Amino acid sequence: MLAYMIRRLWQMIPTLAGVVLLVFFLFKYFGGDPAEVLGGLNATQAQVAAIRTQLGLDQPVWVQLWIFVKEIVTFNWGKSWATNEAVSHLFATRLPATLTVMVPILIFDVFLALPVAMWVAYRRGSLTDRAIMIAATVALSISFLVYVIVGQYVFGFQLGWFPVQGWSDSTWTNLTVYDPLPVLLAVLVGLAPQTRLYRTFFLDELGQDYVRTARAKGMGEGVVLFRHVLRNAMIPILTNIGLALPGIFVGSFLIEVFFSIPGLGREVLLAVNRSDFPVIQATTVYLAMLTMLINLATDIAYKIADPRVVLK
């Protein structure tokens, strides 16, 4: 496994190099002139030229590319154009808020959807199965924005159970006071597609020969479901979790904006609206790096979940 990990890490280098080149040239030739963006509509040509010199945009392309690579390696992206805050400090201060919201959402999504999906798959065709699938389909048809607006109105304004907006410096206060409503709404939205997806995985496994053999040997349904079906269905489940993990570190734009959570998602959205290139570039490159590392971790999890998997 160690040789596989080293080989995969080496293979990430050309992929990351491609991402870096793509991001650099997209922002260089298709993102507009940063000097004109910073200067504004009333800036003179002399002011725009001074800004270009300050940003190093008057240097040759290969020099600018080298500076860009050094920023990635040293984790020093300079300062945000909009707030004059160091990009590294921005990440360090916004990411905890994002994780405080997104980690509970992922945990509840997975650990609630798995037993519900297994139960309805076991009772396939029953009234309970059909009712839950109909409810999941209806839930999928409603926009998350509707959940946010209705949830804030009902649970915040009418019942007064949760604050509609706010955040504090205390992690415990955030988890117990400000997190419950956005986490509840996000789980309600995410539970429907996850349940349908995991149900499909379990149904595929329940139709396999090894399930009939286990039942013929007299094994109880609990043993069949949890020891055999769940274990064999873990490969696609882990794949789905791996696809969702990068989103934890970016956050949800809607949740952070509507609930006034000072997370990375809201900061990225503000950076896009302000044409704040350093923040957008840093987020894009580091998200690509994070995605590659999560894919590697997911492959290793395959081997742990099913020893029959061969890592090549």
Digit-coded pLDDT (tens) for 72-87: 888 777 777 777 788 8
Q: In which band, very low, low, confident or very high, does the pLDDT at 39 lie, cut at 50, 70 and 90?
A: low
- For residue 32, the model assigns a pLDDT of 65
137 part of a folded domain: yes
pLDDT tens sequence across 176-187: 888 888 888 888
Q: d(Cα 287, Cα 160) in Å, to the nearest integer?
A: 37
121 part of a folded domain: yes
Domain count, the chain: 2
Q: What is the mean pLDDT of residues 268-279?
A: 79
pLDDT at 33 over 70: no
Residue 153 phi/psi, 5-degree rounding, is -70, -45
**16: which residues sit within 8 A by CB, 6+ positions away?**
288, 289, 292
- For residue 309, the model assigns a pLDDT of 66
- For residue 266, the model assigns a pLDDT of 83
- Domain enclosing residue 64, as ranges: 2-74
pLDDT tens sequence across 167-225: 888 888 888 888 888 888 888 888 888 888 888 888 887 777 777 777 777 777 777 77
**111 shares its domain with 18:** no
**17 shares its domain with 117:** no
- For residue 235, the model assigns a pLDDT of 83
Amino acid identity, position 253: F
82 part of a folded domain: no
- For residue 22, the model assigns a pLDDT of 85
Percent of the chain at pLDDT above 90?
Answer: 0
Q: What is the mean pLDDT of residues 132-154?
A: 83
pLDDT at 40 over 70: no
Place of tokens 């006034």: 260
Closest CA to 282 of 55, 27, 61, 10: 27
- For residue 78, the model assigns a pLDDT of 76
Domain boundary among 40, 74, 108: 74
Q: What is the mean pLDDT of residues 101-105?
A: 86
Q: In which band, very low, low, confident or very high, does the pLDDT at 143 lie, cut at 50, 70 and 90?
A: confident
- For residue 19, the model assigns a pLDDT of 84
Residue 122 phi/psi, 5-degree rounding, is -65, -35
| DSSP-assigned letters across all residues of 255-299 | HHHHTT---HHHHHHHHHHHT-HHHHHHHHHHHHHHHHHHHHHHH
Residue 86 phi/psi, 5-degree rounding, is -60, 135
**60 shares its domain with 111:** no
Q: In which band, very low, low, confident or very high, does the pLDDT at 93 lie, cut at 50, 70 and 90?
A: confident
pLDDT averaged over every residue in the chain: 80
CATH number (domain holding residue 279): 1.10.3720.10
24 part of a folded domain: yes
Give the N- to C-terminal CA distance of the chain in Å, as an integer.
Answer: 9
**172 shares its domain with 197:** yes
Q: What is the mean pLDDT of residues 98-115?
A: 86
- For residue 86, the model assigns a pLDDT of 83
146 part of a folded domain: yes
**279: which residues sit within 8 A by CB, 6+ positions away?**
77, 80, 82, 87, 90, 267, 268, 271
Residue 180, both tokens: 């419950």
In the DSSP assignment, the letter for residue 141 is: T
Q: d(Cα 244, Cα 192) in Å, to the nearest integer?
A: 15
- For residue 269, the model assigns a pLDDT of 82
Place of tokens 């392309």: 61
- For residue 196, the model assigns a pLDDT of 83
pLDDT at 232 over 70: yes
**124: which residues sit within 8 A by CB, 6+ positions away?**
203, 206
Q: In which band, very low, low, confident or very high, does the pLDDT at 243 lie, cut at 50, 70 and 90?
A: confident
Domain boundary among 28, 50, 74: 74
